[in-house]
């Protein structure tokens, strides 16, 4: 469904990501792991249209989206949960969710989507009028996911959702991501929390210094000494 | 100690002038708060609108109808300005400088066409005033108050409750993420900048209705309107109105109780006090 | 002596040459025109001392100019003082007013950039109102034609010419001196990144006040002289918004980062507008100046002298302070150099540090590890003074750091790198590294600091790029620039914040050797890192932070096998 080929993106002279090719199929659950500075955020921002690709191609559901303007990515069915949440902190929980369903197709079903998101995250339902900036880290992450779900996406992109969160909240969040995937939404997740990410995924890519250095089934990757040393030091 | 009537009249005139501050500050607070664009040329645009009104009124057109001409024309100017500033990725400080340049150009244009002499727009309702109890209520000022309240409230409601308003607020907080959810933030920014310039046209009419105009007067409003914008909170449409009325009444009371000459210092003093004690409210 | 000859003699020679003009018997017009050129050179250059060098754009230069005008106007025009006696007042009053404003405004970090510009714009209007409504002017203006002009030249216009010439020379001379000195380095650093400058030891508050005082005093002097030149002083003409624009335009056109920029711009603009003001097209001239202003801001942000924006180095590579070779290698000890107890820091509801306890021992390499968001960078930020701490104590060599101004923390011997490099973008690589030695423990002058900087550039292999701007370096080089800058003040304790991320494996090997050498030379190193290989190889002890608390301390291998640490770091897999 999503095909990236020889993607190259960066800032000025130095590309942060180059020669990256990856696939996400319908209903797939794919994970990209890698150390800090590997280029994970640049990669996912390029896939979401937030960052201009310098070269390479990007196709979604058979359609070439390489030169689509940023505000059109949502239309084709891609929704983003950005790194650090990036909620609209001056707006209420409800308003944040409503922006998620701003685009035409999703707008028609906005109320229904809202009810479904509240059902999934009851804690958000209790705080609809509260300013997003006053929520705790875990609540903000849930809101960010809820906002993306409001767009009724076919592909959900998540950038380091476990960042700065307590382990129990991370577990809960991964459970929800698994549920969403089981309902038919494809998921591409970029993560530092290697153990949980590999446990969640069906397929994984390892990104180091801007390039894909390994890919395959999670259990195969986890047992590689490469990953053990990179993350545990032994 | 002045009489109660005099005090009452002072407060009333303070409210009226405050409403004009609010109307002038509306376009300014929106473009500074939501677009990171500090538009000094806004003041020159207001005066240009006022002078155009004066000219068209001299030709027999009702001032409120001239809005049909000036508002769309200024809208286009506002769009062009934002396009220029966005195209060259101008930083907020530099928007201040660039619009300063535009202000000087517009002021020169005004002086060239209408000379430096004072002008006063004459309309058939310019001198109408009503007596309410012991107090006089002049019609032009009352009109200004009504227009200011209605416009500011309408903008506030739009930002607060409509999809368009929410999209603008989201885009001003985090434009790339707003775009990721379908908000065409570039287009919205252009429209908002155009709207702010159109608001300047409205303010120009109100200014022309109740004040004599001269090109040098443009600078006289900058300090007090910026004070109203900052105290009212950037990006809040009702802010300059409320703060403006507060400043206006303070000025009027200062004039009545101390001396008229010191009124211009009031806004500056209030601003400094506000910045000292609540600086976080002011930063964009 | 060589310095004097090389730099000041040409200067004085130019001045002497210009000084002969009034004695050449030319029509008064030339003297008056050149007076105006000098007058604007003074105003533009004095404005630039604060606004161009430090980035605090003032729209209120006319306010201070006007204070000087009225200082002389009132004392000489109304009270009959001799003209020259009024000049110290014309300089002192605006300087004091400026310092008064700055003392308040510079304390508030929120009032930078555009807010500072707007406040100074309002200031002009306030001064005008005060002058207009008090006996200082009162309304009718002040007649100065009774004031005796000192007879320095055959004619009055000649005398004004000479006074303006002297003031212009003095002003440009001051701008040049500041530019070359430590003071200038500090101001330029403030321009690029005030918070980092403060953490590197620049006394930002004091420097800004000093620049403001100089700027206002010189403008006031120009005002004092000008009041007698125009011979009739009014509020409207003196406190004009037009002047604010003119001054900024002149400096911006010539180049705000160069000492001669404003002078060049002032000359160009005065000549240009002269044609307009004397013709029927005065108004068109004003509009044209506005247009040029816009064009310059948009397309020529560095001005005409922009190509010379990077200052010439005062020391060459050959003079690099020799690397001190000793066979004695510093060993790790048990003695604590930094003790942190209960450190707390919250940002907008997020508790970044929730009571951190740790101890750093002199001479060790301590690893600070933990998942993202655990508080590692925040800890560095509070110890170095970048952020004030909410609660708890941090004692460095017996001295409490909490509540200290950041530049004092730098002076006591603590240095740090930034996770995302924050070099001073408009200072060369050499100048960046020379900054901490100038303002650190041993406050050196610029020349010595640059020699010291060369040494650290050699140490980090950046010598070849010494005169480049940081934007021209790649990520690896920029990280090493951070490192060189932190090392240059010869700190006793240095915090390295993820210097290795983004480096290739061989670059990491080199960096590990470098860090070990840093410790061997006498610094204690605290090393925040995710690259586990480096942590294992380098560190003597490791502290693990999670959710703003320290959960384990000890030898690296033991700590990283601790189950609690593994859980925190990697996350538990689903049961």
Give the Cα-Cα-Cα angle A15, A19, A20 (nearest 5 degrees).
100
Largest CA distance in chain C: 100
More confident residue, A25 or B93: A25
Percent of chain B with pLDDT over 70: 97
Predicted pLDDT of residue A30: 93
Predicted pLDDT of residue B284: 39
* Contact: A80, B180; criterion CB under 8 Å: yes
pLDDT tens per residue across span A196-206: 777 888 888 88
Q: Which two tokens stand for residue C351?
A: 């508790």
Per-residue DSSP letter, C313: P
Cα–Cα distance measured from residue A220 to residue C66, given in angstroms and rounded to the nearest whole number:
78
Which whole number is the average pLDDT over B19-47? 94
Closest residue in C to A138 (Cα) is C350
Out of 3.40.50.300, 3.40.1160.10, 3.40.50.450, 3.90.1300.10, select the CATH number for domain A2-77+154-232.
Answer: 3.40.50.300
Backbone angles phi, psi at C232, to 5 degrees: -145, 115
Q: Which of A175-179, B93-97, C565-569 is least confident?
A: C565-569
| CB of B226 closer than 8 Å to CB of C122 | yes
Residue from C434, C496, C442 nearest C462 by CA: C434
Q: Does the structure show a pLDDT above 60 at A231?
A: no
3-class state of residue B129 by DSSP: strand
Cα–Cα distance measured from residue C457 to residue C480, given in angstroms and rounded to the nearest whole number:
9
Cα–Cα distance measured from residue A127 to residue A124, given in angstroms and rounded to the nearest whole number:
5
Q: Does the structure show a pLDDT above 70 at A142?
A: yes
Q: What is the 3-state secondary structure (H, E, C) of chain A?
A: CEEEEEEEEEECCEEEEEEEEEEECCCCEEEEECCCCCCHHHHHHHHHCCCCCCEEEEEECCEECCCCCHHHHHHHCEEEECCCCCCCCCCEHHHHHHHHCCCHHHHHCHHHHHHHHHHHCHHHHCCCCCEHHHCCHHHHHHHHHHHHHHCCCCEEEEECCCCCCCHHHHHHHHHHHHHHHHCCCEEEEEECCHHHHHHHCCEEEEEECCEEEEEECHHHHHCCHHHHHHHHCC
Predicted pLDDT of residue C323: 53
| CB of C128 closer than 8 Å to CB of B223 | no
Residue B180 has its nearest CB partner, among A50, A89, A91, at A50
pLDDT tens per residue across span C412-453: 999 999 888 899 998 999 999 999 999 988 888 888 889 889
Q: Which of residues 160-199 of B touch A (CB under 8 A)?
A: 163, 166-167, 169-170, 173-174, 176-185
Which whole number is the average pLDDT over B208-227? 85
Predicted pLDDT of residue A33: 85
How far apart are the two ends of chain A, measured CA to CA in Å?
38
| C416, containing H or E segment | strand C414-416
Percent of chain A with pLDDT over 70: 91
Residues of C in contact with A192 (CB under 8 A): 371-372
Predicted pLDDT of residue C39: 95
Q: What is the 3-state secondary structure (H, E, C) of C455-508?
A: HHHHHCCCHHHCCCCHHHCCHHHHHHHHHHHHHCCCCCEEEEECCCCCCCHHHH
Q: Which two tokens stand for residue C359?
A: 């101890």
Cα–Cα distance measured from residue C428 to residue C434, given in angstroms and rounded to the nearest whole number:
10
Q: Which of C210-219, C526-535, C562-571 is least confident?
A: C562-571
Which pLDDT band holds residue C128 (cuts at 50, 70, 90)?
confident
From the number of C-beta atoms within 10 Å of its C-beta (0-12, 13-18, 19+), residue C509 rates as middle
Strands C549-554 and C391-396: unpaired
Which whole number is the average pLDDT over B17-27? 96
Mean pLDDT value across chain B? 88
pLDDT tens per residue across span A21-53: 999 998 899 999 877 667 888 899 999 988 888
Predicted pLDDT of residue A81: 94
Which whole number is the average pLDDT over B194-203? 96
pLDDT tens per residue across span C537-574: 889 999 988 888 888 888 888 887 777 776 665 554 43
- C286 & C248 share domain: yes
* Contact: B181, A88; criterion CB under 8 Å: no
Q: How far is A201 from chain B (nearest CA, A)?
A: 25
Residue C322 lies in a domain: no
Closest residue in A to B172 (Cα) is A88
From the number of C-beta atoms within 10 Å of its C-beta (0-12, 13-18, 19+), residue C463 rates as middle
Residue from A41, A106, A103, A47 nearest A72 by CA: A103
B interface residues, C as partner, C-beta within 8 Å:
38, 84, 88, 90, 92-94, 96-98, 100-105, 107-109, 111-112, 216, 219-220, 222-223, 226-227, 230, 259, 261-262, 264-265, 267-268, 271-272, 275-276, 279-280, 282-283
- C272 & C347 share domain: no
CB neighbour list of residue B124: distance below 8 Å, 6 or more residues apart: none
Cα–Cα distance measured from residue C161 to residue C143, given in angstroms and rounded to the nearest whole number:
21
Distance of CA A217 to the CA centre of its chain: 19
Task: Show me where the domains of chain A are located.
Answer: 2-77+154-232, 90-152
Predicted pLDDT of residue C502: 64
Mean pLDDT value across chain C? 86
Alpha helices in B36-138 (DSSP H): 41-58, 63-87, 92-114
Residue C364 lies in a domain: yes
- C248 & C368 share domain: no
| CB of C291 closer than 8 Å to CB of C88 | no
Residues of B in contact with A75 (CB under 8 A): 182
Which whole number is the average pLDDT over A97-124? 88
**Interface with B, mutate which of C55, C105, C298 (most B CBs under 10 A):** C298
Strand partners, C554: C542
Which pLDDT band holds residue C225 (cuts at 50, 70, 90)?
very high
Task: Show me where the domains of chain B are located.
Answer: 23-219
Residue C450 lies in a domain: yes
Predicted pLDDT of residue C320: 66
- C359 & C279 share domain: no
Report the CATH number that the domain containing residue C474 is assigned in CATH.
Answer: 3.40.50.300
pLDDT tens per residue across span A90-107: 899 999 999 999 987 778
Predicted pLDDT of residue C52: 92
| CB of C238 closer than 8 Å to CB of C169 | no
pLDDT tens per residue across span C13-36: 888 888 888 788 778 788 888 999
Q: Which residue has the tokens 């403030």?
A: C190
- C434 & C478 share domain: yes
Q: Does the structure show a pLDDT above 60 at C220?
A: yes
Q: Which two tokens stand for residue C26?
A: 């030319």
* Contact: C283, B111; criterion CB under 8 Å: yes
Q: Which two tokens stand for residue C496?
A: 């390295």
Q: Does the structure show a pLDDT above 60 at B283?
A: no
Strand partners, C233: C142
| C541, containing H or E segment | strand C541-546
Residue A50 has its nearest CB partner, among B173, B176, B183, at B176
Distance of CA B132 to the CA centre of its chain: 28
pLDDT tens per residue across span C457-492: 988 888 888 888 998 887 778 888 999 999 998 899
Q: Does the structure show a pLDDT above 80 at A141?
A: yes
Q: Which domain, by its residues, includes C381?
A: 336-570
Residue A88 has its nearest CB partner, among B173, B179, B185, at B173
Determine contact: C348 vs chain B, CB below 8 A. Answer: no
Predicted pLDDT of residue A16: 79
CB neighbour list of residue C278: distance below 8 Å, 6 or more residues apart: none
- C499 & C547 share domain: yes
Residue C328 lies in a domain: no
Predicted pLDDT of residue A192: 74
Which whole number is the average pLDDT over B244-263? 87
- CA-based R_g, chain B, Å: 19
pLDDT tens per residue across span B132-185: 888 888 888 999 999 999 999 999 999 999 999 999 999 999 999 999 999 999
Backbone angles phi, psi at B135, to 5 degrees: -100, 150
Exposure b/e, A159-182, CB count within 10 A at least 16 = b: bbbbbbbebebbbebbebbbebbe
Which whole number is the average pLDDT over B191-207? 95
- C342 & C392 share domain: yes
* Contact: C104, B105; criterion CB under 8 Å: no
**0.90 exceeded by pTM:** no
- C105 & C209 share domain: yes
Touching chains, C (3+ CB pairs < 8 A) = A, B
Predicted pLDDT of residue C319: 67
Q: How far is C283 from chain B (nearest CA, A)?
A: 6
A interface residues, C as partner, C-beta within 8 Å:
13-14, 35-37, 133-134, 136-137, 160, 162-167, 170-171, 174, 192-196, 198-199, 209, 229-234
More confident residue, A143 or C124: A143
pLDDT tens per residue across span C348-395: 767 889 889 999 999 899 999 887 667 888 899 999 888 889 989 999
Percent of chain C with pLDDT over 90: 34
CB neighbour list of residue A82: distance below 8 Å, 6 or more residues apart: A45, A50, A144, A159, B177, B180
* Contact: C129, B92; criterion CB under 8 Å: no
More confident residue, C146 or B204: B204
Residue from A187, A191, A98 nearest A151 by CA: A98
Predicted pLDDT of residue B183: 92
Q: Does the structure show a pLDDT above 60 at C322?
A: no
Predicted pLDDT of residue B269: 82
Predicted pLDDT of residue C204: 93
Predicted pLDDT of residue C575: 30
Q: How far is B261 from chain C (nearest CA, A)?
A: 6
Mean pLDDT value across chain A? 85
* Contact: B169, A91; criterion CB under 8 Å: yes
Q: How many structural domains is chain C composed of?
A: 2
Strand partners, C548: none
Q: How far is B25 from chain C (nearest CA, A)?
A: 14
Predicted pLDDT of residue A217: 85
């Amino acid at each position: 469904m999503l095909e990236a080929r020889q993607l190259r993106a960066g800032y000025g002279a130095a590309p942060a990501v180059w020669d990256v090719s990856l696939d996400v199929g319908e209903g797939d659950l794919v994970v990209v792991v890698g150390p800090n500075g590997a280029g994970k955020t640049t990669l996912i921002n390029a896939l979401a249209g937030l960052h201009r690709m310098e070269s390479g191609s990007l196709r979604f559901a058979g359609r070439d989206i390489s030169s689509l303007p940023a505000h059109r990515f949502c239309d084709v069915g891609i929704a983003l949960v950005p790194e650090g949440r990036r909620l609209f902190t001056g707006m209420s929980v409800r308003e944040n969710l409503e922006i998620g369903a701003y685009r035409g197709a999703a707008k028609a079903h906005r109320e229904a989507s809202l009810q479904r998101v509240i059902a999934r995250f009851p804690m958000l339902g209790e705080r609809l009028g509260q300013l997003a900036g006053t929520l705790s880290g875990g609540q903000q992450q849930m809101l960010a996911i809820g906002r993306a779900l409001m767009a009724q996406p076919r592909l959900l992109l998540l950038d380091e959702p476990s960042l700065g969160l307590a382990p129990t909240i991370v577990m809960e969040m991964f459970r929800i991501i698994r549920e969403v995937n089981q309902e038919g939404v494809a998921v591409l997740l970029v993560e530092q929390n290697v153990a949980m990410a590999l446990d969640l995924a069906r397929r994984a890519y390892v990104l180091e210094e801007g390039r894909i250095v390994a890919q395959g089934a999670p259990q195969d990757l986890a047992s590689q000494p490469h990953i053990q040393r990179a993350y545990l030091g032994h | 100690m002045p009489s109660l009537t005099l005090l009452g009249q002072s407060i009333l005139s303070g409210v009226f002038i405050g409403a004009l501050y609010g109307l002038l500050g509306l376009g300014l607070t929106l473009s500074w708060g939501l677009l990171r664009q500090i538009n000094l040329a806004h003041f020159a645009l207001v005066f240009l609108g006022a002078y155009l009104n004066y000219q068209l009124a001299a030709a027999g057109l009702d001032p409120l109808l001239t809005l049909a001409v000036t508002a769309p024309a200024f809208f286009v100017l506002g769009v062009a300005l934002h396009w220029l500033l966005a195209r060259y990725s101008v930083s907020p400080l530099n928007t201040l400088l660039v619009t300063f340049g535009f202000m000087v150009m517009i002021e020169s244009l005004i002086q060239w066409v209408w000379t430096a002499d004072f002008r006063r727009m004459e309309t058939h309702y310019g001198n109408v005033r009503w007596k309410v109890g012991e107090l006089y209520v002049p019609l032009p000022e009352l009109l200004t108050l009504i227009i200011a309240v209605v416009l500011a409230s309408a903008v506030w409601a739009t930002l607060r409750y409509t999809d368009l308003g929410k999209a603008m607020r989201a885009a001003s907080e985090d434009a790339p993420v707003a775009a990721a959810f379908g908000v065409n933030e570039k287009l919205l920014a252009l429209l908002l900048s155009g709207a702010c310039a159109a608001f300047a046209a409205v303010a120009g009419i109100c200014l022309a209705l109740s004040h004599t105009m001269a090109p040098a007067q443009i600078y006289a409003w900058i300090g007090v309107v910026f004070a109203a914008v900052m105290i009212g909170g950037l990006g809040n449409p009702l802010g300059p109105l409320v703060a403006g009325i507060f400043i206006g009444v303070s000025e009027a009371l200062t004039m009545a109780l101390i001396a008229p000459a010191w009124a211009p210092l009031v806004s500056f003093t209030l601003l400094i006090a506000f910045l000292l004690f609540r600086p976080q409210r002011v930063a964009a | 002596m060589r310095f004097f000859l090389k730099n000041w003699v040409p200067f004085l020679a130019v001045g002497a040459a210009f000084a002969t003009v009034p004695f050449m018997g030319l029509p008064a017009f030339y003297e008056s025109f050149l007076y105006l050129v000098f007058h604007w050179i003074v105003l533009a250059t004095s404005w630039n001392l604060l606004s161009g060098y430090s980035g605090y754009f003032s729209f209120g230069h006319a306010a201070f100019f006007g204070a000087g005008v009225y200082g002389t106007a009132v004392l000489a025009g109304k009270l009959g003082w001799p003209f020259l006696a009024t000049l110290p007042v014309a300089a002192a009053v605006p300087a004091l007013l400026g310092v008064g404003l700055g003392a308040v405004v510079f304390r508030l970090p929120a009032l930078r950039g555009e807010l500072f510009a707007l406040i100074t714009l309002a200031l002009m209007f306030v001064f005008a109102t005060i002058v207009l409504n008090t006996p200082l002017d009162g309304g009718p203006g002040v007649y100065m034609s009774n004031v005796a002009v000192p007879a320095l030249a055959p004619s009055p216009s000649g005398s004004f010419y000479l006074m303006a010439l002297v003031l212009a020379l003095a002003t440009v001379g001051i701008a040049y001196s500041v530019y070359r000195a430590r003071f200038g380095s500090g101001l330029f650093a403030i321009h690029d990144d005030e918070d980092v400058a403060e953490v590197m030891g620049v006394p930002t508050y004091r420097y800004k006040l000093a620049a403001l005082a100089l700027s206002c005093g010189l403008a006031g002097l120009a005002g004092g002289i000008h009041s007698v030149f125009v011979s009739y002083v009014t509020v409207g003409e003196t406190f004009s918004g037009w002047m604010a624009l003119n001054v900024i335009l002149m400096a911006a056109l010539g180049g705000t980062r160069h000492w001669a920029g404003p002078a060049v711009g002032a000359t160009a603009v005065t000549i240009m507008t002269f044609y307009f003001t004397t013709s029927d097209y005065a108004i068109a001239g004003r509009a044209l100046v506005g247009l040029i202003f816009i064009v310059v801001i948009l397309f020529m942000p560095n001005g005409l002298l922009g190509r010379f924006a990077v200052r010439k180095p005062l020391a060459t590579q050959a003079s690099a302070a020799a690397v001190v070779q000793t066979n004695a290698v510093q060993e790790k000890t048990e003695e604590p150099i930094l003790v942190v107890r209960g450190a707390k820091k919250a940002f907008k509801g997020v508790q970044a540090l929730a009571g951190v306890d740790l101890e750093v021992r002199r001479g060790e390499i301590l690893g600070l590890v933990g998942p993202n968001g655990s508080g590692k960078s925040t800890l560095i930020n509070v110890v170095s003074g970048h952020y004030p701490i909410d609660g708890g104590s941090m004692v460095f060599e017996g001295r409490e750091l909490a509540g200290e101004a950041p530049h004092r923390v730098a002076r006591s011997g603590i240095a740090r790198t930034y996770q995302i490099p924050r070099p001073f973008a408009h200072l060369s690589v050499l100048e960046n590294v020379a900054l901490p030695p100038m303002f650190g423990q041993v406050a050196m002058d610029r020349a010595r600091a640059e020699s010291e900087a060369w040494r650290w550039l050699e140490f980090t292999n950046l010598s070849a790029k010494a005169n480049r701007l940081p934007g021209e370096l790649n990520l690896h080089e920029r990280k090493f620039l951070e490192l060189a800058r932190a090392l240059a003040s010869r700190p006793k304790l240095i915090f390295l914040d993820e210097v290795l991320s983004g480096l290739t494996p061989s670059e990491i090997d080199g960096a590990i050797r470098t860090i070990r050498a840093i410790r061997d030379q006498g610094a204690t190193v605290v090393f925040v890192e995710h690259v586990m290989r480096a942590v294992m190889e380098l560190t003597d002890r490791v502290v693990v932070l999670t959710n703003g608390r320290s959960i384990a301390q000890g030898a690296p291998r033991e700590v990283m096998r601790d189950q609690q640490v593994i859980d925190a770091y990697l996350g538990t897999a689903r049961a």
